[in-house]
Structure 1
Amino acid sequence: MHNETLYHTFLELLKDQFTPEDEKNIIALVQKHHAADLAPVLDQLEMQQAARVLKYMEMPFQAEVFGYLEPSTQSNLVDELGVAHITRLIDVMDADDRVDFYNNLDEEHQQAILPGLAQAEREDIRKLSSYGEGTVGAIMTSDYAALAQNLRAGEALERLRQEAPDKETIYNAYVVDEHRQLMGVVSLKDLILAQPGTLVTDLMNSDVVSINAAEHQSEAARKIAKYDLLALPVINGNDKLAGIVTHDDAMDVAEAEATEDIHRMGGVSPSAPGLGSVNMLEASTWMMVQKRLPWLLVLVFMNIFSGAGIAHFEDTIEAVVALVFFLPLLIDSGGNAGSQSATLMIRALATGRAHLRDWFTLLSKEIGVAILLGVGMALAVSLIGVFRAGPEVAVVVAMTMVCTVLFGSLVGTALPFVLSRLKLDPATASAPLVTSIADIGGVLIYFSIATWVLRDIIAAAGAA
């Protein structure tokens, strides 16, 4: 059922004249839909209505749906459901969802909820919430399966059978020593196929791909994608197993990182509050202004240089007014070529398919590509130049097209590498920034070529 249809169905069932039949229909409705499909609908309902629907779900499924809700909805439901109900809900939530929810609450709600939790849950929340935002530790879960190295396959399977209900995943179990240092990983498949008396250490893979809890979360997503892992073990500073990052959390990280890069490339400020975490429908007008205004102001002042360049060549423009006709065409072509190059380079750097050491190779290749693109575009625009203003202007326009496309492409290629070298996000080489730089260069290139090629015409116009 489509979200909009499901939303209106809930509204109809939650009417004032509520009947036992409506109650049965709501229960049947929540039972036949996935948690990820129900959560967006609950986000749209009024908090009182959303709380009523949640209470018709079994507690484990209710916790699953709750984990998919928007942070703002989760916070509002604390008062609606009550601290006692929220405490029971937290108790059955996945460890990572539990910490995310807790961190999104204000201090008053945190202090109200924490005393009602079991000591194990309190310690787990304190440990996981101590990691800085954006680190691997902030997204890992402590619900992982660990096995002692002296166990045999039969004993390990029995241990996993007992622990499975409380673990995020048991497809891979991590072998640790008495100090919880990571020794290896063993798959559930290998345990099942092995003879019961086989030692776990004989089955495990000791060459384990892991990550430090202090590293950036995007590195965890990259490793999970690169090595095709279901989960990535996380170690702390003492090389002890601290938790795991699952592939679904890695997907969330990848989506968030991609959203941030897209915002940066569009010239949207990453320093504005709520970036990437607030639905566009929920974002306030002031928040959207904060997101977009800083870069727009920077670009406004950058474009002043374009105007200054045009003013510097007033004599050339007065002598050959037809040059103005081709100005937007040439400037946009350079900016467009630069945006294409920047997009390709930023994506290559983000996915690890290009590195700083590849700068010269990629720049050399881009020069060849840009020249060919510029020549092709120059041939097309020169025909318009001959028809519109004569062969002299056509030569100027064709030469400028090649130069501006080359300049824009080089800016778009080089800027992400320069920013990476300066330890800045390459995505800051946004399309508006590259376009503005290409515009300034394009104006200077165009009128410089025109002044040189048409110097006789300009001199004659000045003498007259």
Structure 2
Amino acid sequence: MEERARDDRAEIRDDVLNLEHGHVADVVEHLNDQEPEDAAELIGKLPDERAIEILDQPEFEDSAEVVANLPIERAVALLAGMSADRATDLLTEVEEPLRSELLARLDPETRNAVSHLASYPEGSAGAIMTTEVVSVPTTWTVGDTLRHIRVVEKSRETIYTICVLDPKTRALVQTVTLRRLITADPAAPVLSAARYSKPITVTPTTDQEEAARLFSKYDLLAVPVVDDAYRVIGIVTVDDIIDAIFEESTEDAQKFGGMEALDEPYMDISFLKMMKKRAGWLCALFLGEMLTATAMQHFETELEKAIVLTLFIPLIMSSGGNSGSQATSLIIRALALGEVKVKDWWRVALRELPSGLALGAILGTIGIIRISVWQMLGLYDYGPHWILVALTVGTGLLGIVTFGSMSGSMLPFLLKRLGFDPASASAPFVATLVDVTGLVIYFSVAVVILSGTLL
């Protein structure tokens, strides 16, 4: 028993050494594989600076549970040392009453910063910014600024963008990059190292996707967040944007698959939560597909007279759904990247109409050729009116693919206009919509073409 205890202590000692000296990304990956109680025990044995560095990583999945398992005083000390935005995210995951107790024990400055950040809506720049900004007055020199950076760098999330403020109003005058500071004359005014263009800024309510577009367009490492008086209230860094966009793209991908977005990792979410996320959408789609049976019942007489038409129903339905899903994917991504706006719906419609007609004509031609080849080679007998059957399938595909492209491209605009996430226009949803209308189009075409022969 004593030997086993010694082995356990040795294993813990080795783990602590690895956590203390290993790369923080590898450390986080290792801790994610541990139970929260075990991870908390390991974190508790680390120096504050190293523990804070680990907890500051957004990839640390169980950080809230780890903090909850730490002694209250140690947890407060670590939270106070973390970046304000990360501490805010972590505290929102801690359950009551522990969350209120931790907040009450934080120093006033940290508590105010956390409460301030928590007040901004999810998905906004304010929700992901940090209030720990390197700022200097316009009266300082380059040398003064560099000395200040050396003093405060450990308490700031980024030092690559320095905000230069009006000494009286505290309003943002300009931003300076660390690279330009290093290459500038130490005796020169700090503004001499700034670019001549107006600084790029966002407001706290700016959408994360809009902020991401600014980072991409202007090749930024950080962007200041300003209030109505142009005072700096925080800064959004490129790693914040990457984390936010990664999370948002994951949610969009899940929604596009026809389910609610998961708010936990796949392996951690409970069975009941998983059912709740998936069952609702599946039931809605199932009820939508019931309309397919209704449509087929409406054309029951035509089906009895021309059984051959049923052979091509799967072909017709899948082609319309596929074209609609293609169009939806393109438009949702274009909206997310800002390539098109809601007001551009008519321009998209003018592009998708000829595209749908062309794609429908291609698939319709292939369908006609396939029926003709099978008939001529004797692989299947479509009856004496096989040419009309082929024409029905070809024309039906033309109409259905065109409708699929148009509805798939317009649905995201409609959802956006109504205030919903365009990603809710999932591929299964579009496919269900096109399935029902596709059958109506198909049998309507059949009634026109085959009237007087098979019908």
Q: Tell me whether the two structures share a fold, i.e. TM-score over 0.5.
A: yes
Q: How many Å separate the matches in 2 of 1:71 and 1:21?
A: 25
Partner of 2:137: 148
The alignment status of 1:22 with 2:11, answered yes or no, reads: yes
- Name the counterpart of 1:402: 398
What stretches of structure 2 of length at least 5 have no aligned partner? none
In 2, distance between residues paired with 1:227 and 1:16?
A: 57
TM-score, normalised with respect to structure 2? 0.91
Judged with a 3 Å threshold, the aligned counterparts in structure 2 of structure 1 residues 24 and 423 are, in CA distance, closer, same or farther, namely closer
Aligned to 1:78: 67
Residue 202 of structure 1 is matched in structure 2 by 192
Shift of 1:391: 1.7
CA drift of 1:297 comes to 2.5
Match of 1:216 in 2: 207
Seen in structure 2, the aligned counterparts of structure 1 residues 111 and 424 have a Cα distance that, compared at 3 Å, is closer
Secondary structure in 2 matching 1:160: helix
Q: CA deviation at 1:199?
A: 1.5
Distance 1:356 1:47 in 2: 45
Equivalent residues in 2 for 1:409-428 (5 A)?
409-428=405-424
Task: Return 242-251 or 298-307, whichever deviates more.
Answer: 298-307
Q: Compared with structure 1, are the counterparts of its residues 364 and 79 closer, same or farther at alpha carbon in structure 2 (3 Å cutoff)?
A: closer
The residue number in structure 2 matching 1:92 is 81
Q: 1:208 to 1:367 in 2, by over 3 A?
A: same
Please list the CA deviations of residues 349-406 of structure 1 after superposition, one character each: whole Å capped at 9, or x if unmatched.
Answer: 1101122343233222222222222222222222332324122211111111111111
Secondary structure in 1 matching 2:319:
helix
Instruction: Tell me if 1:59 matches 2:48.
Output: yes
Amino acid at match of 2:162: A
Report the CA distance shift for 1:172/1:455 in structure 2 as closer, same or farther (over 3 A): same
Task: Tell me the equivalent position of 1:244.
Answer: 235
Give SS of 1:134's match: coil
Q: TM-score, normalised by structure 1?
A: 0.89
The count of aligned residue pairs is 440
Aligned partner (choices 149, 158, 172) of residue 182 of structure 1: 172
Alpha-carbon distance in structure 1 between the residues aligned to 2:289 and 2:263: 32
Spell out, residue by residue over 1:59-94, the C-alpha distance to the aligned partner (whole angstroms, 9 max, x if none): 222112223377872333234221011112112212
| Aligned residues of 1:232 and 1:245 also touching (Cα < 8 A) | yes
How far did residue 256 of structure 1 move? 1.6
Structure 2 counterpart of 1:402, one-letter code: L
1:298-377 alignment, distance < 5 Å: 298-377=284-363
Alpha-carbon distance in structure 2 between the residues aligned to 1:166 and 1:435: 52
Secondary structure at the counterpart of residue 46 of structure 2:
coil
SS of match in other structure, 1:30: helix
For residue 368 of structure 2, what is the amino acid of its counterpart?
S
Q: Confirm or deny that 1:380 pairs with 2:371.
A: no
Separation in 2 of the partners of 1:40 and 1:231?
Answer: 27
Contact residue 338 and residue 411 of structure 1 kept, 8 A? yes
Q: Distance in 2 between matches of 1:134 and 1:92?
A: 25
> What is the root-mean-square deviation of aligned Cα atoms in Å?
2.1
CA–CA separation in structure 2 for the residues paired with 1:369 and 1:335? 15
Instruction: Give the secondary-structure state (helix, strand or coil) at the position aligned to 1:211.
Output: coil
**Quick one: structure 1 residues 349 and 306, their matched pair in 2 at CA, closer, same or farther if it must change by over 3 Å?**
same
Aligned match of 1:7: none
Q: Distance in 2 between matches of 1:397 and 1:110?
A: 63
Partner of 1:234: 225
Name the CA shift for 1:19/1:305 in 2 (closer, same or farther; >3 Å): closer
**1:454 corresponds to 2:450:** yes
Structure 1 stretches of 5 or more lacking a match? 1-14, 270-274, 460-464
Q: Give the distance between the partners of 1:18 and 1:113, measured in 2 at CA.
A: 35
The offset of 1:29, in angstroms, is 2.2
